[in-house]
């Protein structure tokens, strides 16, 4: 069996040390081992597969106990990471002389799992609005979570991942729990407000803040909450929302003869896209202040435009759209979290254990983002390139260790047994 990790990554150790997590040394070592193995393992990232990555293997049952019964507090780890991420992001932005504009991006995603995993507490059927239509709704078996990224210029960090449970799921879990251990139901909008409230003390006074989310979060409560913080909202809107008493799709038809504004925006990879916009200003139902609503098409003849709004009436259409595209950072996160870091590969059963697993994945991803910002180059263009560099560093360390041991002992079989964890051959 081919192992991959001889020693823990020094850079990963340094990053986790900087977080100053309130953990005992064995607990910190478990997080380090799990994070390193998550990055190196290319199979399904079960605890058994993660354990197999080490030459000197930690016990897989100890990893499971660390997630199931070890008494460390997830909120404390989240707080330490959030504070460190924001402090580093703001300091780096100031060092690079980036304008004092912060964008907080919120989005949820479904991590699909096999039907055989329905006995795991957080796993349930979730409505997938990205693949559903009015005629054909689609549901997926898995977990649903809310991701939050913060960006300043081209710098991006992920500050939170929160597991979302349907009310039905919460009732099912609580059915077999004592009263003191029951889980409260939290809506997605409630989770979003909690994340924002925890971020607020970490944002310097005088900075311009935009909170961005899609139409599924564009509720009266969330928009009003953001404005009470003296922040601005840029968000998607559904076609049935009413502006000045008229549905948006009706307004789009009424404005059909108005000229489009041609807007060109630039993505993070330098690719430029053209959008065709119409805009109008007014008041949405139950929103006691004016907003600017944009009707966006990729082509003038496109029948159904997309709708989004901004509470900042001073920004141009191009500025609003350019900023709204920053939400793509959440989609990038979701891709790598699922495909590279095994966010949905867990096999632990309880809600608390899954929550802890997700925090470990979040810490691992934060390390990838931080290192990518510092090492971005023609050789490191994507997060995938950075993960491959991390794996290559371990491969070099592993091979160097094997060659060194070979020189010391001169016994090929002994080296193979040690580095490949082979069973000793009978005499």
pLDDT 10s digits, 231-271: 999 999 999 999 999 999 888 877 776 677 778 777 655 66
pLDDT score for 322 = 82
* Residue (of 49, 79, 53) closest to 64 by Cα position: 49
Q: How far apart are CA 328 and CA 212, in angstroms?
A: 11
Given a cut of 80, whether residue 424 has pLDDT beyond it is no
As to burial, measured by CB atoms within 10 angstroms (0-12 exposed, 13-18 middle, 19+ buried), residue 427 is: exposed
Alpha helices in 167-316 (DSSP H): 167-174, 188-199, 220-228, 248-254
Instruction: Give the pLDDT confidence of 293-316 residue by residue, as tens digits.
Output: 988 888 877 778 889 999 999 988
- The closest alpha carbon to 138, from 149, 130, 146, belongs to 130
| Domain regions of the chain by residue span | 1-71+376-427, 73-375
Using alpha carbons, list the distances in angstroms from residue 404 to 52, 90, 181, 401, 413.
Answer: 22, 44, 52, 5, 14
The structure tokens listed for 229 are 């913080």
Mean pLDDT comparison of 193-197, 239-243, 399-403, highest-scoring range: 193-197
pTM of the model: 0.92
pLDDT band at residue 140 using 50, 70 and 90 as cut-offs: confident
Instruction: List, as one string, the DSSP characters of 355-382.
Output: HHHHHHHHHHHHHHHHHHHHH-SSS--S
Greatest Cα pair distance, the chain, in angstroms, is 89
pLDDT of residue 63: 87
Q: Give, in order, the Cα–Cα distances in Å from 323 to each of 114, 131, 235.
A: 37, 25, 10
Question: What local confidence, expressed as pLDDT, does residue 257 receive?
Answer: 66
CATH superfamily for 73-375 is: Transposase Inhibitor Protein From Tn5; Chain A, domain 1 (3.90.350.10)
Whether 2 shows a pLDDT value over 80: the answer reads no
What CA–CA distance (Å, rounded) separates 100 from 33?
37
Reading the block at residue 213, the tokens are 């989310």
Can you tell me the mean pLDDT for 111-116? 82
How far is 50 from 47, CA to CA, in rounded Å?
Answer: 5
């Amino acid at each position: 069996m081919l192992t991959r990790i001889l020693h823990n990554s020094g850079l990963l150790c340094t990053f986790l040390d900087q977080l100053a997590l309130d953990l005992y040394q064995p607990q910190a070592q478990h997080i380090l081992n799990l994070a390193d193995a998550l990055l190196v393992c290319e199979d399904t990232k079960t605890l058994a597969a993660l354990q197999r990555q080490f030459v000197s293997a930690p016990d897989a049952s100890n990893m499971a106990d660390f997630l199931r019964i070890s008494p460390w507090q997830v909120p404390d780890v989240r707080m330490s990471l959030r504070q460190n991420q924001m402090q580093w992001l703001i300091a780096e932005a100031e060092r690079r002389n980036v304008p004092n504009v912060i964008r907080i991006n919120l989005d949820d995603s479904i991590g699909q799992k096999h039907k055989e995993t329905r006995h795991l507490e957080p796993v349930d059927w979730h409505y997938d609005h990205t693949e559903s239509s009015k005629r054909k709704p689609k549901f997926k078996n898995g977990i649903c979570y809310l991701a939050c990224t913060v960006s300043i210029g081209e710098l991006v960090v992920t500050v939170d991942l929160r597991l979302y449970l349907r009310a039905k799921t919460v009732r099912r879990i609580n059915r077999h729990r004592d009263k003191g251990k029951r889980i409260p139901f939290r809506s997605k909008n409630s989770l979003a407000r909690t994340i924002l409230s925890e971020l607020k003390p970490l944002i310097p006074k005088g900075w311009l803040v935009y909170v961005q989310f899609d139409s599924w979060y564009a509720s009266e409560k969330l928009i009003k909450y953001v404005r009470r913080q003296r922040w601005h909202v840029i968000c998607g809107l559904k076609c049935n929302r009413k502006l000045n008493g008229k549905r948006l799709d009706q307004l789009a038809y009424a404005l059909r003869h108005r000229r489009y504004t041609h807007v060109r925006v630039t993505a993070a990879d330098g690719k430029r896209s053209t959008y065709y916009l119409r805009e109008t200003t007014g008041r949405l139902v139950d929103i006691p202040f004016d907003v600017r609503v944009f009707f966006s098409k990729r082509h003038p003849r496109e029948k159904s435009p997309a709708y989004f709004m901004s509470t900042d009436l001073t920004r141009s259409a191009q500025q609003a759209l350019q900023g709204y595209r920053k939400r793509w950072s959440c989609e990038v996160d979701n891709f790598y979290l699922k495909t590279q870091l095994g966010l949905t590969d867990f096999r632990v059963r309880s809600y608390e254990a899954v929550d802890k697993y997700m925090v470990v994945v979040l810490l691992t991803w934060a390390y990838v983002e931080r290192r990518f910002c510092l090492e971005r180059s023609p050789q490191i263009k994507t997060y995938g390139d950075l993960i491959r560099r991390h794996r290559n560093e371990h491969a070099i360390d592993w091979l160097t260790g094997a060659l060194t041991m070979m020189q010391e002992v001169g016994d090929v079989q002994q080296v193979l047994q040690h580095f490949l964890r082979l069973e000793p051959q009978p005499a």
